[in-house]
Amino acid sequence: MKQLMGVINLDHELDSLNELTYFRCGAAVPFASRYRLIDFVLSNMMRAELESVGLFVRRKYRSLMDHLGDGKSWDMNRKHGGLFILPPDWNDPTDTSRGDLQHYHNNLDFFKRASAKYIVFSGSQHINSIDLQDLYQYHLEKGADVTLVYKKIDQLQPEHDVCRRIEVDEDHNVTNIHQEKDHHNLYLDIFIIEKKLFLEQVEYCIAHGESYFFRDVIQKNRHKFKIAAYEYEGYHAVINSLESYYKNSLELLQQENYHSLFKENQVQTKIKYEAPTRYLESASVSNSLVANGCIIGGTVENSVLFRGVQVRKGARIINSVIMQKCVIEENAVIENVIMDKDVHLSKDRILVGDSKRPFVIAKSSKI
């Protein structure tokens, strides 16, 4: 019997990618030519063969639900368990819960119906390829109440500023949780806990007027609970700003990043039926990631092209991220740009952003 269930909690994630998150939540932002950010956590959960996965989301989830469907792409369209998308439709007049405890309180049935005894929680902004079964075994071996996942970051980046840090002793137990910017043990927004303890704590917290599970249960009780630390060493990127989105998109052009994120084709996404990409006689492509369905007649350098992009003859795309179905007409030039879906750029236009601050074009614009 499957012992592990999953929760993807998007409640605390800010939609801070400007134009890219005006109409969609951060988890639904397209990434890496053919994925959306949520695909990475879902694929991690798929590989761990969880009994069920609950997705808690409060805002702007239309695009996300369209992408997820019944969970088939992640093998989560199951008779028992599978994917549960649980948006906030709450009608209990006696409900006094707040924060993300609202989600848990109003979906107690989701937790109680599952036969799994442990729950792994994750957000969507830390892109990683963690083995959650290994985390689960580690948690059991440590006999901990809670196990937190962290990664030692050698070179801290601006996007790490808002992330929590953990301090770890030599027995891999967590001794402190804080947000000191120069600390290198980054908490990856993933933890595992026994379901029984989780439900007890949810009830206790609501009774005492608390709001957020991580802050008010785990962080607050860090000296009371036995909290273990699990070190993750694979691919990792935090995407919580336009700058971090742009930087991490282009860093996938480095082969070690590409291979560590996509080894054994471990990331699944919603299937589209595009033809393979066609390179015309005049195409010139270098150091770029290209999805299927593109027709390329121009020049593409150091860029990421999503599905179905058309680059007409004479057009030049440099250091840019071009999302699904954009059309770049003849002799247009794009440099340091993030172009959202369905943008049509007319002939001879020139769009140039700054290499640190890319120019963002909103979805479906005609320029």
Partner 1 sequence: MKKKEMVAMLLAGGQGKRLKSLTKSLAKPAVYFGGTYRIIDFPLSNCSNSGIDTVGVLTQYEPLVLHSYIGVGSDWDLNRKNGGVFVLPPHERENGSSWYRGTADAIYRNLKFVDQFDPEHVLILSGDHIYKMDYNAMLQYHKARNADCTISVIDVPLEEASRFGILNTEDDLRIYEFDEKPAKPKSTLASMGVYIFKWEILRKHLLNDGENAGSSHDFGKDIIPMMLEDGQSLYAYPFEGYWRDVGTVNSLWEANMDLLCDNPPLNLNDPDWRIFTRNPNQPAQYVAPGAQVSGSIINEGCIVRGEVKHSVLFYGVEVGEGSVITDSVIMPKVKIGRNVRIHKAIISENTVIEDYMEIGIDREDEDEILLIDNRSKKRKSVAAKTI
Surface-to-core class of residue 157, CB atoms within 10 Å of its CB (0-12 exposed, 13-18 middle, 19+ buried): middle
Strand duo 185-194 + 118-122: pairing = antiparallel
> How many Å apart are CA 192 and CA 177, to the nearest integer?
16
Q: Which of 178, 216, 181 lies closest to 198, judged by CA?
A: 216
Task: Find the shortest distance in angstroms from Cβ 251 to partner 1.
Answer: 13
| Lookup: tokens for 347 | 């002939």
Task: Find the shortest distance in angstroms from Cβ 287 to partner 1.
Answer: 4
Contact with partner 1 (CB under 8 A) among 109, 155, 170, 271: 271
Task: Find the shortest distance in angstroms from Cβ 228 to partner 1.
Answer: 33
In DSSP notation, 25-86 reads -GGGSEETTTEETHHHHHHHHHHTT-SEEEEE--S--HHHHHHHTTSGGGT---SSSEEEEE
Mind spelling out the 3-state secondary structure of 111-124?
A: HHHCCCCEEEEECC
| Interaction between residue 277 and partner 1 (CB under 8 A) | yes
| Interaction between residue 318 and partner 1 (CB under 8 A) | no
Task: Find the shortest distance in angstroms from Cβ 21 to partner 1.
Answer: 22
Cβ distance to partner 1 smaller for residue 303 or 336: 303
CB 30 within 8 A of CB 324: yes
CB 251 within 8 A of CB 157: no
Task: Find the shortest distance in angstroms from Cβ 188 to partner 1.
Answer: 22
| Lookup: tokens for 248 | 């991490």
Cβ distance to partner 1 smaller for residue 38 or 116: 38
| Interaction between residue 280 and partner 1 (CB under 8 A) | yes
Task: Find the shortest distance in angstroms from Cβ 144 to partner 1.
Answer: 35
Contact with partner 1 (CB under 8 A) among 282, 346, 355, 364: 282
| Interaction between residue 286 and partner 1 (CB under 8 A) | yes
Residues 28-87 that bind partner 1 (CB under 8 A): 32-34
| Interaction between residue 256 and partner 1 (CB under 8 A) | no
| Interaction between residue 255 and partner 1 (CB under 8 A) | yes
| Interaction between residue 140 and partner 1 (CB under 8 A) | no
Contact with partner 1 (CB under 8 A) among 78, 279, 344, 359: 279
Contact with partner 1 (CB under 8 A) among 265, 354, 356, 366: 265
| Interaction between residue 304 and partner 1 (CB under 8 A) | yes
Contact with partner 1 (CB under 8 A) among 23, 110, 225, 258: 258
> How many Å apart are CA 302 and CA 311, to the nearest integer?
15
Please name the helix (run of DSSP H) or strand (run of DSSP E) that holds residue 126, with its range, or none. Answer: strand 126-128
Q: Which residues bind partner 1 (CB under 8 A)?
A: 32-34, 253, 255, 258, 261-262, 265, 267-269, 271-293, 295, 297, 304-305
